[in-house]
Amino acid sequence: MCFTTLTEAIQNKYAPDLYRWHRSAAIEGDRMPDNEEAEEVLLSLTASHLDIGMRGIPVGTCRTSSVSADGGVHYVGYPIGEVAEMDPEDIVFLLFNKKLPSKEEASAFRKDLFSRAVVPEGVLQVLDNLPREGHPMDWLSIGIHAMGMVGKTDDWKEDALNLIARMPWLMAAIFRIRGGRSGQLPVVDPSIGMVESFVAMLEPETEEVADMVKVLRTFLVLHMDHGGGNLSTFTGKAVASGHADVYASIASAMNALSGPLHGRANQSCLEFVQRIGTDDPVKVEEFVRAELAAKRPVFGFGHAVLRVEDPRATFQFSLGERICPDDENFRIIRTLREVAPRVLSENPRISNPNANVDIASGTLLHHVGFRKPAYYTTFFGWARVIGIGAQIVDERINARSGKGVPIYRPKYIPVGQERN
């Protein structure tokens, strides 16, 4: 049955689905459970919840991370500030095993992870034949697909860990080939670490290798996971729910991440900062007000969940003060951090005028030698491969007592489909 208007729809047979949202251990298909003991009302749904991108609608559970309005992201209960300077490999262990490793566990996990860093033959040839005009995120998605074509095991966890271990090579290959350096990559010992391996294969022409490694290690940890409902993570899990393999699922997630309203915002943010061109507070405020008057976004501020400054931004500002306090772009974002929230808060419709994770990430990457903002989202993608991989493993082999989450199938209400 179709309805002409949404009002008509919600007054008829779809009303029960709109008014109550149940939590249950045994939801099958579109049927809601009859077991009262399994039910807990999580949300009263109204028509205002429709066509808003499912914002705030509970659809599942997440075991790797959570995001609160006043505390930001936590990895398995650990506030991001507590783990930001830990080894990325230890955070991979945390997300997959739901605990931080002991010294012995960390050593064994690294040995296992680095043993997986063997890239299947043929992937380099695929990358070498891609059109150079494509965005680096397109290359990242295709590269992940290519590794799955020739190297998958069809075991959720094995494939997730294999992909994570091979990401430093894929990232270095993308940078080198697109930069005009085709051919085999330098052979490095993966046991030096994921970020260290990437930098070694990149062979950067800079004396600031230590700062490059520091920024990338921090970037990787800060961006690994962010709850279960962000667009790229949700997309990856949705594709995996149809039993597409890990590589296809995460490649889909990278396509979702590539959008300017999601992962590519860090690219847009640096471009925004460079357009400002001054750290003078008066001129920065004039620029922000002009952007708002022209109905253009003020990049690097606001968040769908947070109502305070993103702790990831706070940490990146602290890092910037240590390694590049006099950098031109860093001086601009330092001023922007003070000016923009005050201006944005004048609009009562803006619930969070504070800095988010994107405000400083591009500036730090630029400072350590990554001058092309188009590549910044690939670092975001590299990090999210880890968190999304861990969440896919949880949903496929751990959720619902090992049965896994069923194929995603949200309900859409037919409106405006009457025959003329």
Question: What CA–CA distance (Å, rounded) separates 420 from 263?
Answer: 43
Question: What CA–CA distance (Å, rounded) separates 164 from 158?
Answer: 10
User: 262 catalytic, yes or no?
Assistant: yes
Which helix (H) or strand (E) covers residue 290, if one does?
A: helix 281-293
Rg (CA), the chain: 23
Which helix (H) or strand (E) covers residue 390, if one does?
A: helix 376-393
Decide: 143 and 174 in contact? Cβ < 8 Å.
yes
3-class DSSP string for 174-205: HHHHHCCCCCCCCCCCHHHCHHHHHHHHHCCC
Question: What CA–CA distance (Å, rounded) separates 384 from 88?
Answer: 12
3-state secondary structure (DSSP) of residue 41: strand
User: 303 catalytic, yes or no?
Assistant: yes
Catalytic choice (74, 223, 226, 303)? 303
Catalytic choice (262, 279, 280, 327)? 262
What residues contact residue 299 under an 8 Å CB cut-off, 6+ apart?
265, 268, 269, 271, 272, 273, 358, 359
Which of 137, 123, 125, 116 lies closest to 250 in space, CA to CA?
137
What residues contact residue 129 under an 8 Å CB cut-off, 6+ apart?
none
Which of 174, 130, 170 lies closest to 147 in space, CA to CA?
170
Question: What CA–CA distance (Å, rounded) separates 332 from 311?
Answer: 19
What residues contact residue 380 under an 8 Å CB cut-off, 6+ apart?
223, 257, 263, 266, 361
Catalytic choice (358, 366, 367, 394)? 358
Which residues are part of the catalytic machinery?
Answer: 262, 303, 358
